[in-house]
Chain A
Amino acid sequence: MPTKNVTDERLSKFKNKGKDPAKLRAKRITECVELRKAHKNENFLKRRNLTLSSLPDEEALSPDYIPNEDSNNIPVIQVTHLSIEDIIKDVNSDCRKSQTRGCQAARKLLSQERNPPLKEIIDAGLLSNFVSFLSMDDEPTLQFEAAWALTNIASGTSWHTQQVVEHGAVPAFISLLSSPMLHISEQAVWALGNIAGDGATYRDILIECNVIPALLSRISPDTPVGYLRNLTWTLSNLCRNKNPFPPLSAVQQMLPSLVQLLHLSDKDILSDACWAISYLSDGDNDRIEIVVKTGIVPRLVELMSHQELGVMTPALRSIGNIVSGSDLQTQTAIDAGVLNVLPKLMRHPKTSIQKEAAWALSNIAAGPCKQIQQLITCGLLPPLVHLLRNGDFKTQREAVWAVTNLTSGATVEQVVQLVQSGALEAIINLLQVKDAKVILVILDAINNIFMAAEKLGEMEKLSLLIEELGGLDRIEMLQNHDNEMVYQAAHNIIEKYFSDSDTRGEKVDATEDAFVFQSPDVQKAFEF
């Protein structure tokens, strides 16, 4: 008789019993209130003063640069520093040349490093002029300067962006995308990226205005790399933001191109394309499924080893998102070799990479015991223990989750391996962290490990081990913790595993000198 299978089946019944397995996965679905500074290593929501690749000479972007006539499409206009009043006068004049001069002066003011006068320009009422210049196909210089000025304004706060949009810039920019002049088209790409980056609302307005087909049509084998970089960035902003997510149809439209971009070698394109994927996969399993279906997972796993941090980070984030999905989705990442890459990332010098890697691991550890086995076989326990011991606090927190998730889904043998790898000792040391949630999660893991020990009949051995490791002292101390749940969890562990069992019962009513033995006369038929 196949005894072994029977046992396995039984064990699978035990897995996560009493718990909702979906909750084990620490997903980033809701946008959380943050106390910290915004993430430093994520890509920019909006950009100003970016290199515009289509300009032949990059120095052209310097606000002090005065281009020479004939060298390109931009005619020479001598600009000294005009005052706002002069700019207003110029822009409002009927003379194209003055308009161009005013516009360019405005653009330069708006490009200055410190405190560009965004509000002053808006208050001067110049936006409607700029927007109207956008449609002047016969005045490419003016068109370009206006586009640049508006781009810079749109790179400001939400209020600034709002001004640009409300002056009708969106349709004008979208038509500019098809400008035969590459640098003008690229300026439009950039402006639209800033608008999309403002948030879900403008992003969706752009999508409704059919920005996506207009953008995608500019991708061709001949498109210069620099242009593609900007375009990828704008696409990534169109994928960005939740509540709500971008419409599925838009996602479907963009994905094939993103996949294509991901196979290029330029690091900036790769970085933004990865960010785009990371936004798209940062959602429920249906969103993840759309990404997984494109077959991009192996490439993303490959990019996790990219030498550029800017690529590695979003690739890791994307895979992290994917392994927070269903077991099947997680399996695609495992099949693509994520478990071979993670150990290296877990020992990466950047703590942010360690943290993200530990987070991804914690989600894989929340899977079924078959995936846990793969995790163990690929040698993930030693780096996990390394992080528990040496990681910074945020990394340790993720690593603790990995341990707890693992202990709630693993077979007894797997739990034994985990304990032998030193994880128990490491999490016990972490019982002194100043974070109630982490402590609770550790206590949960200890409880799970006890449940495994119970099946092996090694409860006493485990109790002694925990005591030796200083865990008993720590858990006893946690009985004084101010957090009710921590106190309760610690108390339960002490009661259950470290003290002689108490007995309890429940009240049943009775009176007299003895109980009355009787059963009711009338009764329904028994049916079990």
Chain B
Amino acid sequence: MDVVKMSNVKDKTVFIVGGSTGLGKEIAKELASQGAHITIFGRNQKRLDEATIEIDTAKQSENQVITAVSADMSDATTVRAVFASQPRLPDILICNAGGTSTELGFLIDLEPDVFERCMKNNYYTSLYPARAVLKAWVEDDRDSKALAKPKERKIVFVNSTASLCPAPGYLAYNATKSAQRALAETLRLEATRYNNPKSTYKVQCVFAHNFISDTFLIEQQNKPSLTKRLENTEGDLKMLEKKFPYAEKIAPEIVDAVAKGDYAVLDGRFESQIVWGVGMGGSPKRCWGVWDVLLALLAMFAWPFERRRWGFEK
């Protein structure tokens, strides 16, 4: 268990892949307000520029450095070059790129190129940055001097309740999130091997549940009606607002939960907790695991009824 429960991000450097819109941007703003230096990575220069202004406005002090880099983070060579050219190694890497605005639907309605594209956007954009940064950290440990307190090095993968409770209509996306989750869990174990007096390594996984953002609204236009019914996202924006929070509401909750240090990170809603209960499986339990085990037992009871409702809906 962590001795220092609340991790302080003041003066720390944070890289956020997929930090120019939605949840990534809101997390960037929250971290900026807590004193961190932020570099966001994305593909769209215009969105990056707009996001930089917003994040800059949120910062705590003038010493904080807020920058943006436009690059295709799903390409291994590009990622390596882009990270190598940064002035500083990050303390925290947040892999937030992803989403599925144009890959929704049932298997036989999709074109085959959709699957590779979805995997690129959601899995490789986590994989290559994580690998590049982990490699750089391990090399830095070899060459650097020991400090009074070990450096805290952290990778946070932003995953989804899609990997806990897959819903129909998200076939392409669910698989990519399952892949990202398997990567996060395996890496968590592997990373602990690199712990040494100079640095401690931590891997965390955020299971984000449905929230409202620009990407979500585009998704809604492409989503099959059946999917909307099953995941309770039917209705216009006004109705959705009643049921789901905006990204800016859950971002601070997520940042807080990340600071607590547990592997699995959820936002504050009870619904998210129950979905975690259903799908946690062999994943590391939070804290001592008591609450998570109870959740899982409760969910095991309740889930078959929900699943049967889905069956009937179809």
- Asked if chains A and B come from one complex, the reply is no
